[in-house]
Amino acid sequence: MTENPQHFNLITDFEEIIARPNFIERVVIQKGEKVEGVLRDLIGYYLFKEEVKCGISSCGTKHQKGYIASLNDGNEIIIGHNCGKRYFGVSFDEKTTQFEHLKNNANQYVQIKEMFEKLPTLKENFERILNNSGKMTFLQIKLAIKDFRENALDYWMRRKIDQDVSSSGLIYIDVFKSKEEIAAEVAMKKKNILDTKSVLMGNVVNYDVIANWHNAEKLKDYFDRLYREIKNPNQLQGEAIKALAKKLRQHDQNLRELEEFCKNGNRLFTPENLIQLAVLFTKPNEQKIIEKYANKFA
Ligand SMILES: [Zn+2]
């Protein structure tokens, strides 16, 4: 029974304790009898979602965590953390040190168990984010980005876009200043007067999704792996529980970021948004190409 003390001692389900052959819910301690004379040893640690009553009749306080104690008559009860301290004194402290790693693992264990039980729902939600965050699915956004970078436009048009659209999607164009503007600058005794100025001509929203898409792929990969790795923790070794619990810490944040990528990708690939790129071009046939490209997303 003790070949793996972690599995033997850490109990997260009250039913498991009730099923123990020597378990009794309450021990009545006679008047004048000392509790210390009734209790023998601490033999396990429990952590529940719900609260359960301490087995010492005069206490009866509800606890979420505490210990399984054996009695001198061979029966077992559960006692709360405070009663453990009170009745076992110094030996309790020694026991708690022994149980320390279990306490540290208990929360991780419960967390993984909850995730394991929710796994079908988690997977469903993940699929929903990938496929129903907007008109385009994750895969369609990925392909649209690849197409935008490689095939959709010819080399020179792509180069022009790379040069003149900021990473956040702002389109600035150099235009000639009017005679009046230059005259005004001269009057202000400005040095190094240029004959052109940069004017904001457009803002392609969520343009940064293109440059940052590799991060979206990383996030998707995180969930593909994680959901394969989540198992019932009673089938996992201590080290695997630790590693999995560490990964799980990023779960909610990563899910939010992945959803953001899917939503922003959908905001990026719309005709109204992409058609703004046409201002970069002066030739009618180039403007036509942009128009045609943007309208693919109608
Ligand atoms: Zn108690």
* pLDDT at residue 91 tops 90: no
Residue 138 to residue 61: CA distance in whole angstroms: 52
- CB neighbours (10 Å) of residue 249? 11
Packed helices 208-229 and 238-248: angle between N→C axes, nearest 10 degrees = 150
Average pLDDT over residues 118-134: 97
* pLDDT of 134 higher than 60: yes
Query: What is the C-alpha separation between 261 and 221, in angstroms, rounded?
Result: 14
**Residue 103: predicted pLDDT:** 64
Question: 86 CA to middle of ligand 1, Å?
Answer: 9
Give per-residue pLDDT as tens, 162-200.
999 999 999 998 899 999 999 999 999 988 889 999 999
- Region 201-226: what's the mean pLDDT? 97
Residues with beta carbon < 5 A to ion ligand 1? 54, 56, 59, 61, 80, 83
| pLDDT given at position 266 | 98
CA 74–ligand 1 middle distance (angstroms): 19
Give the model's confidence band at 102: pLDDT under 50 very low, under 70 low, under 90 confident, else very high: low
Q: Which amino acid belongs to residue 247?
A: K
Report angle CA 289, 295, 298 to the nearest 5 degrees. Answer: 170
Give distance in angstroms: CA of 10 to centre of ligand 1. 19
Amino acid 67: pLDDT: 85
* Cβ proximity of 210 and 148 under 8 Å: yes
User: How far does residue 79's CA lie from ligand 1's centre (Å)?
Assistant: 5
| 8 A C-beta contact, residue 166 and residue 195 | no
Distances (CA, A) of 28 to 190, 277, 290: 95, 82, 85
